[in-house]
């Protein structure tokens, strides 16, 4: 696992201490994927109910609170595939 993915797993684990009631995948372009589910946060590339794709820098800005997920989506920096309702729940958790 890359240092970037390890750091992202740590950052997301702090935000999803109780897990997530569905399966979400964060795809960091050029680095890999992170899964968030009922068991917590881990590196992986499994099937998901919702997939969020962005650059490492944009995800870092979202994790740090410097970029809102809504703004990232509206400006095309964040791509969403799958259940949009779950994507909105993830956005609230990241904020």
Structure tokens at 69: 């997920």
**pLDDT at residue 24 tops 90:** yes
Domain boundaries, the chain: 3-94
Domain 3-94 CATH superfamily: SCP2 sterol-binding domain (3.30.1050.10)
- Say what the pLDDT of residue 64 is: 86
Structure tokens at 14: 């702090």
pLDDT in tens, 38-83: 999 999 999 999 999 999 999 989 888 899 999 999 999 999 999 9
Residue 52 CB: number of other CB atoms within 10 A?
A: 28
For residue 92, what pLDDT band results from cuts at 50, 70 and 90?
confident
Could you tell me whether strands 32-37 and 24-28 are parallel, antiparallel, or unpaired per DSSP bridges? Answer: antiparallel
- Say what the pLDDT of residue 65 is: 87
Residues 6+ away with beta carbon under 8 Å from 14: none
Give the Cα-Cα-Cα angle 44, 53, 7 (nearest 5 degrees): 55
């Amino acid at each position: 696992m890359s240092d970037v993915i390890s750091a992202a797993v740590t950052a997301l684990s702090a935000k999803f201490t109780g897990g997530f009631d569905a399966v979400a995948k964060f795809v960091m372009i050029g680095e890999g994927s992170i899964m968030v589910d009922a068991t917590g946060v881990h590196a992986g590339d499994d099937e998901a109910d919702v997939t969020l794709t962005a650059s490492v820098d944009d995800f870092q800005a979202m994790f740090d609170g410097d970029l809102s997920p809504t703004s990232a989506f509206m400006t095309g920096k964040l791509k969403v595939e799958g259940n949009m309702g779950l994507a909105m729940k993830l956005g609230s958790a990241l904020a």
